[in-house]
């Protein structure tokens, strides 16, 4: 008998005795929404909620009326932080913004050298959704230029559109199922604020391994 078969045999044997307990079955999404942190019903409220959560998380969140304004803000960041090289991917908006900066751009879409990515000053990605309930950015390998682009450079810049804001985690998970069906990207991540640690005396430090800064720019 293989170890796989042996494991399943032990499980079957163990479960031959029934347990009593919380046997109400799997809860519905409606039941989940009834207990989770509340989300505003109007879009404006949700936007305000996202803004507040992002601020609590020490992420920088800003909205722009046009692509030009958004690009101007990124140019400003580029100058203030003195970026020498940035990385992005084949997202239409992210790519356009990165190209407009006039600094060398590494495009990760077709593969890249990890040392080169590690040397970039910022990583600019798009995303699948923003979650009002938690202030999270939902990215996948496909929407954000791979697994490392949103995590390796010290500054992660997300460019998003207003219609990408979803109310809560259940909605974000539903969106993934609708968007990808059964062919999911191999990595899906809810990014909630910049990288952080409290492992030394429970004192918050940003930028433990991932980005020290998370900037979310919304059109």
Within positions 57 to 86, which residues make up the interface with another protein, using CB under 8 A?
none
Exactly one of 45, 175, 190, 219 binds another protein (CB under 8 A); that residue is: 190
**Tokens standing for residue 54:** 């992002």
CB of 134 to another protein, least distance (A): 4
Q: Which is nearer to another protein, 42 or 200 (CB)?
A: 200
- Euclidean distance between CA atoms 49 and 76, whole angstroms: 26
- Euclidean distance between CA atoms 219 and 67, whole angstroms: 7
Beta bridge partners of 87: 106, 123
Piece in contact with another protein (CB under 8 A), picked from 74-82, 92-100, 157-165, 172-180: 172-180
CB of 95 to another protein, least distance (A): 14
Exactly one of 41, 80, 82, 200 binds another protein (CB under 8 A); that residue is: 200
- Measure the CA angle with vertex 73, ends 69 and 79; round to 5°: 140
- Euclidean distance between CA atoms 148 and 145, whole angstroms: 8
Taking residues 89 to 128 in sequence order and writing x for each that binds another protein by CB under 8 A, - otherwise, the string is x------------------xxxxx-xx--x----------
The count of residues interacting with another protein (CB under 8 A) is: 87
For 5-38, letters b (16+ CB in 10 Å) and e give eeeeeeeeeeeeeeeeeeeeeeeeeeeebeeeee
Q: Please report whether residue 56 would count as binding another protein according to CB under 8 A.
A: yes
Which residues in 15-44 contact another protein (CB under 8 A)?
15, 17-27, 29, 31-32, 34-38
Beta strands in 64-125 (DSSP E): 86-88, 105-107, 122-125
CB of 178 to another protein, least distance (A): 12
């Amino acid at each position: 008998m293989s170890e796989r078969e042996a494991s399943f045999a032990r499980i079957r044997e163990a479960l031959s005795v029934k347990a009593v307990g919380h046997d109400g079955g799997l809860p519905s999404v409606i039941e989940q929404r009834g207990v989770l942190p509340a989300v505003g019903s109007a879009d404006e409220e949700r936007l305000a909620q996202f803004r507040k959560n992002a601020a609590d998380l020490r992420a920088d969140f800003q909205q722009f009326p046009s692509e030009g304004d958004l690009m101007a803000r990124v140019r400003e960041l580029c100058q203030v932080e003195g970026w020498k090289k940035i990385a992005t991917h084949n997202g239409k908006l992210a790519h356009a913004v990165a190209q407009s900066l006039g600094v060398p751009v590494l495009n990760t879409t077709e593969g890249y050298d990890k040392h080169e990515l590690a040397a970039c000053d910022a990583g600019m990605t798009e995303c699948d959704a923003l979650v009002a309930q938690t202030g999270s950015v939902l990215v996948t390998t496909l929407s954000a230029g791979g697994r490392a682009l949103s995590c390796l450079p010290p500054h992660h810049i997300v460019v998003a559109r207003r219609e990408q804001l979803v109310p809560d985690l259940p909605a974000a998970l539903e969106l993934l199922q609708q968007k990808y069906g059964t062919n999911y990207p191999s990595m899906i991540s809810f990014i909630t604020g910049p990288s952080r640690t409290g492992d030394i005396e429970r004192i918050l430090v940003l930028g433990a391994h991932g980005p020290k800064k998370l900037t979310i720019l919304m059109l």
